[in-house]
Structure 1
Amino acid sequence: MKLSYKLRLAIMVVGSFLGAFSSTLMNIALPNLMAAFHISVSQVQWVTTGYMLISALVIPASSYLIKKYSMRNLYLSFATIFLLGSILGALALTFWLVVVGRMIQALGAGVLFPLVMVAGLKYAPKEHRGMVMGIVGMVFNFAPIIGPSIAGIILNVASWRYLFIVLIPVMAITIIAAGLCLPKEQKQGDEHLNYQGLGLLSFSLTAILIGLSNIGTMSFISWPVLGNILVGIVCGFLFLHYQEHVSNPVIDLQIFKDRQFNLANSINFLLTSTMFSNTIILTLLIQGVMKQNPLVSAWVILPGAVLTGILSPLSGRWFDRYSIKKLTLIGLSLDILGTILQLNVKLKFAFWILLGAQLIRQLGLVMVLIPIQTQAVKSLSPDLIPDAIPAYSMFRQIASSVGTAIIVGIMSIAASLVGTEAGEVAGIRVGFAISLGMIIIALGLSRRLK
């Protein structure tokens, strides 16, 4: 592959890696933010769920943007947006400015990821496309997992602000490099974005997320909780109805007529919810209950992250060699075993048990997540694939935000019912128990895969 192709892809991959990496970078800093701004668990989780929500909402629009504008202009624009969000987060004097900074980061990152996938197909010669897409896939499975570990190392020697600061020079360099190296293209397609549909979808998901995030601090039968959830559900139904009667839907609803796509999406939703919430639960357990420093949290999570990076390229081959039922049975059984170990860990600090349990969980997840994505689109007709892949990615991001909000919200309720330090312990155990239940449901659904 010519150096120019490698250089272009390397620039875009680095920028997109930062977006995926930063999605979980703040998870391990939640106790630090709670102490710095004197806020609750329900409030602080917006640092993560807000990022995932905006990423999910940007993904449907990214297809339109990639068709209408050149890759160079898109990369420069959205990498700059990510950079501005990082600067705002680093300088933020209030908690909600931190959240806004994270959401601006997510706005940039939400377009950078699909952009580099398209660039891999466009710039790489045909004989190298498989290798390039394998590398891109490995990067984006590895980046969110390694984020908390790197954050723990940084927090051991510096404040939470450096989780934003470290991103700034790297992204700035990629923007300069992209301006010099990415080719100038004249591209102005005649695509039209369905603003009404995207607006309804955005309002629906935002209202539901706000309602769920208030569960831990307010009565369920109240406007901030139940009212927001009901408004979100109503807007969701309006969105679905509207999509059936427009020529340019945000999501082609035909993809949901395929049973295997729906099953794979449901399993992915459950597992992604548990995977992203798990780093939050572990962080609160290790730093909040066990009173260890952030570096310890990093070392507990790091081996599982490294294992994910090593095995991700192999999991696609496993899908070709073994049946999806066998992979999900083994992978989800390991995930269940690791979660049971976490649920029953003694409150006196047990480093090796926590590390081993997390390693087992990640081994199980890496056996399932990439094969289940392939399974989702395997039986769809080729003309539905361009709609199915963004939809699948969008639901993954929704699971990261909404699923995490549900688990953290119920954890907060359990903690408030008991009160004091015993309440924190009860909340942690409830969080692990909900994750266990979700994985068991996913295992039951996986038996229907073909």
Structure 2
Amino acid sequence: MSTQFDVKNPKTMAFILMLGAFLGLFGETALNMALSNIMEEFSVTAATAQWLTTGYLLVLAILVPISALLMKWFTTRQLVVGGLLISMLGALFAAMSLNFGMLLLGRIIQAMGTGILLPVMLNVVLLIFPVHKRGIVMGLMGLVITLGPALGPTLSGVIISTLGWSYIFWISAAFYVLLTLAAAAKIVNVSEITKPSIDVTSIVLSTIGFGGLIYALATMAEVSFSSPQVWGPLAVGLISLFLFGRRQTRMDEPMVNLSVFKYPMFSLGTAIMFLSILIILATGILLPLYLKGALLFSAAAAGLMLLPGNAVNVILSPIVGSLFDKFGARYFVISGFVLVIIGNLGFLTVLSSTTPAWQIIVSFMVLFFGLTMVTMPAQTNGLNQLPRELYADGSAAMNTLNQVAGAAGTAISITLFTIGQNGYLVDFPDAAQPDVLATGVRYSFYFITGISVVGLICALFVKKPSEVEAKGKAPAAVKKTATARR
């Protein structure tokens, strides 16, 4: 069966979807540079302010699994236009916020729209472009996935310094309006509307599962792990996720077909993406705090310091995409994680309250050089192993875990940041605030470096899907299922 739909303007469709996803992913970290301003304006702590990022990612993690079901109930145009309109309403609500609660609610509404757009983008790209042309397109999509959250602090830093943090949302809302008009005119339906039965139990279990897990991780920044406020939601979340997974494997029409994880390269690609997104989001919230709080740069200057690393991502993504079709994923992913480790070691060795700016810039460039070589090849290599029938389920599963990774990275890094600061204050109670903050950030980078090493180990097992199938490792049971569903 062909994996490509006959679409007159596939590039236009892909562009609209990628720009919409970029705005949503930009929104993940756009407020990171403004956290200190928001903390002061609304009188909240760093642990509370980080919910503006963690809460956004929490909503994505809850909603993205449901997207696989939505794509079987609604047309592509309905989902894209609906997602853009919801995102626009959330941005407008946040722009007009009078208190922290109102701002957080606006962020949650905006995240709901992004949660619809992300998996639709990935699924549509897989359907409208043939396998032999996916490399360059997935390279551009990899650029969106990494550049959106990475560029958030850079662009928002300039906006905050010149206009104020609320204009992050006013500008986003304007783009959402333009994209909605374009989507209504150019997006066509490429999904198969089957309208399967809606299993409310699955929706409830996935919502409680991902919600409990991320809430527990984020709460650790304020209370100890031994507190019922942490282990209670964590236990409930893990049990709910177990029951959700068990239920999906026993249903004739599961909300998310977990048989995608029987494909070894998809599972490995998803794990590598999980680790990569965790690193991106953890770095994305720590560096703005460090640059503004320890090195005392303005929001604009701090944002511009991150620009060279983002430029590396922009330049390298299409190149990696075009070379992927020729060389495959293995060498890119291994080399990429080596560079990621080098970049993190750079941060570990230089972070202090007196670090020269160029050392931060170089380490960030090396880090993103490596991440750009990892994300697109790992994602594309994994998805290429799936049959067309499982594209929607595969994209939903991968995107869900990406959002969990982002929320976990944000929550754990802020938790370790807080622990590192408190430990330093015990030893040096009279230490200056920049020294305390720099120590907290450096403490978090031990965790990020460890994650990078795990990623390198995973990269050593990456192969082309065709090589796995040639050796008889393709999941025959899944092939049989896909054939039956056909």
Structure 1 vs Structure 2: percent identity of aligned residues?
29
Tell me the C-alpha RMSD between the 2 structures.
2.9
CA contact (8 A) 1:200 1:236 kept: yes
In the alignment, what sits opposite 1:407? 413
In the alignment, what sits opposite 2:444? 431
- 331, 343, 360: which one pairs with 1:354? 360
Aligned length: 450
Change (3 A) 1:73 1:442: closer
Change (3 A) 1:194 1:413: same
In the alignment, what sits opposite 1:365? 371
Q: How does 1:72-87 map to 2 (within 5 A)?
A: 72-87=77-92
- 219, 225, 231: which one pairs with 1:214? 219
- 376, 390, 399: which one pairs with 1:393? 399
CA contact (8 A) 2:76 2:191 kept: no
In the alignment, what sits opposite 1:89? 94
User: 1:267 offset after TM fit, Å?
Assistant: 2.5
CA contact (8 A) 2:124 2:190 kept: no
CA contact (8 A) 2:256 2:397 kept: yes
In the alignment, what sits opposite 1:288? 293
In the alignment, what sits opposite 1:148? 153
User: 1:17 offset after TM fit, Å?
Assistant: 2.9
Change (3 A) 1:446 1:214: same
CA contact (8 A) 2:279 2:448 kept: yes
2:71 partner SS: helix
Q: How does 1:32-47 map to 2 (within 5 A)?
A: 32-47=37-52
Q: How does 1:253-264 map to 2 (within 5 A)?
A: 253-264=258-269
CA contact (8 A) 1:300 1:358 kept: no
Calculate the TM-score normalised by the size of structure 2.
0.84
Query: Which whole-Å deviations, capped at 9, do the CAs of 1:199-249 have from their partners, x for residues lacking one?
Result: 211111111211111212112211111111111111121112222222222
User: 1:4 offset after TM fit, Å?
Assistant: 6.7
In the alignment, what sits opposite 1:105? 110
User: 1:263 offset after TM fit, Å?
Assistant: 2.9
Change (3 A) 1:175 1:376: closer
Change (3 A) 1:447 1:221: same
CA contact (8 A) 1:340 1:436 kept: yes
User: 1:100 offset after TM fit, Å?
Assistant: 1.6
1:333 partner SS: helix
| Runs of at least 5 residues in structure 2 that lack an aligned partner in the other structure | 1-5, 426-430, 464-486
Residue 441 (str. 1) matches residue 454 (str. 2): yes
In the alignment, what sits opposite 2:476? none
Change (3 A) 1:226 1:155: same
Change (3 A) 1:29 1:253: same
CA distance in 2, matches of 1:324, 1:243: 30
CA contact (8 A) 1:324 1:372 kept: yes
In the alignment, what sits opposite 2:239? 234
1:93 partner SS: coil
User: 1:431 offset after TM fit, Å?
Assistant: 0.9
Query: Which whole-Å deviations, capped at 9, do the CAs of 1:331-365 have from their partners, x for residues lacking one?
Result: 11111111111112242141111111100000011
- 403, 417, 427: which one pairs with 2:423? 417
CA distance in 1, matches of 2:378, 2:117: 23
Query: Which whole-Å deviations, capped at 9, do the CAs of 1:237-267 have from their partners, x for residues lacking one?
Result: 1112222222222222222234433333222
